[in-house]
Amino acid sequence: GFDLLTFGEALVSLRSAGPLATGGALTMHLAGAESNVAIGLARLGHRTAWAGRVSDDELGRYVLRQLRAEGVDVDHVTRDPERPAGLMFLERRTADLTRVGYHRAGSAGSALHVDDLRPALAAGTRILHLTGITPALSETAREASRWAAETASRAGALVCLDVNHRARLWSRDDARAVLSPLAGYASVLVASADELDLVGEAGADEATVVAGLLDRGVETVLVKLGGDGARAYTRDGVRHAPALPVTAVDTVGAGDAFTAGYLSGHLDGLDLAGRLRRAVTLGAFAVAGHGDWEALPRRDELSLLDDLQPG
Ligand code: KDG
C-alpha cells in the first residue's frame, strides 16, 4: 500500500516572464494542487501515488515523466486518447501580480471517473488526500471525489480535504453545496481563512464553522493564514504556528506545500506542534523559491531553515 494517495487534474503550466499580450518566451511546468502535494511527500521519502487521467500525447507523457522523476507512483493513471491536456497560463503581469488563465474545460483530467480511482484505492493507503478543485471539474469528477473519500474513510485511511476554492471554476454557493457534505468524510480539513465558510454556513465566522466541523467528526481543522502562519483546531483547543520569515518570491503552491508538510509529519508520527512545524517549513520553502513545487526540500534539506524556526 501507499503512505499517501492523491488524485485530481495535473495541468501543464505555461509561465511567462511578462504580459502575455506582448508574447515572448513561455516555460513549461507541471502544476496541480494534488500533484504538488504528491511531490512534496515523495521528496521526503514517503511512498506516494497520484491518480487521474492524462492526455495520451506528448503533454500527458510530460506530466507522467515529471511525476516519475520526483518518485511519485503513476501506475494507476489512466491515459485518455480522446481528450487534450489541461493547460494553465501563469502570466507574470507585474513584479507583484501574477494572473492565472485556465484552458481545462473538456480536458482529460476533468473527465475523471470513479473507475479511474478503483485500482489505486484497492492498493490501500494510509492517507487519502483530495482537494475541492477536483469536484469542480465535472459531474463524474465530483462523484469520483465523493466515492474516494467515502471508500478510504471506511477502509480506515486518514482523509485530508484541502478546500482550495477556485473561483474561476464555480461560485461559492455551488462550491459550498458540494464541499460541505464532502468535509464530513475528512479527518483533516485544510482551508484558508476566506474559504472556511465553504464547509459551513454561508457567512459563518471561523469559530462557528470549526465547531461544526469538529462536531461532524473532523479531527483537525487547519486554517492557513499566509504570511501569518496557520491555526490548528482540535477538540483540545487551538494552536497557532507562525510562518518562517523568508523572502517570498512566488506564493503559488505554498498552500499545497503546507498540507504536504503537515501530512508528512503525521506519517512520521509527530505531535501536533511537530506537524505544524513541518507544515510551515514546507510552506516557507515553497514561497522562497520559484515554481509550484520545484523548491520543496528533500528530507536531508528539511533542517536548512532551522535557524529561522521560532523556539
Ligand atoms: O495550488 C496551486 C494550484 O493552484 C496550481 O498548481 C494549479 O491545481 C491548480 C489549479 O487548479 O488552480
ipTM of this predicted structure: 0.92
> Does the CB atom of residue 195 touch ligand 1 within 6 A?
no
Domain limits for position 217: 2-9+34-82+112-295
CA distances from 34 to 19, 181, 202, 247 (A): 27, 20, 26, 25
22 assigned to some structural domain: no
**In this prediction, what percent of the chain has a pLDDT beyond 70?**
99
pLDDT tens digits for range 209-239: 999 999 999 999 999 999 999 999 999 999 9
Domain contains 61: yes
Residue 309 lies in a domain: no
Which domain CATH number covers 129?
A: 3.40.1190.20
Q: Which helix (H) or strand (E) holds 176?
A: helix 172-183
147 assigned to some structural domain: yes
243 within 8 A of 280, measured Cβ to Cβ: yes
Over residues 138-168, the pLDDT tens digits come to: 999 999 999 999 999 999 999 999 999 999 9
Total number of domains in the chain = 1
Asked if residue 27 belongs to a domain, the reply is no
Distance 302 CA to ligand 1 centre (A): 24
Structural domain contains residue 250: yes
pLDDT tens profile 195-205: 999 999 999 99
Ligand 1: does its nearest atom lie under 6 Å from the Cβ of 252?
A: yes
Residue nearest to atom 5 of ligand 1 (CA): 32
Q: Is residue 247 part of a domain?
A: yes
Mutate to test the pocket of ligand 1, among 9, 11, 35, 37 (most ligand atoms within 8 A of CB): 11
Active site residues: 256
Check pLDDT > 60 for residue 311: no
Give buried/exposed letters for 257-285 (b at 16+ CB in 10 A, else e). bbbbbbbbbbbeeeebeebbbbbbbbbbb
Q: Whose CA is nearest to atom 3 of ligand 1?
A: 33
pLDDT tens per residue, range 66-85: 999 999 999 999 999 999 99
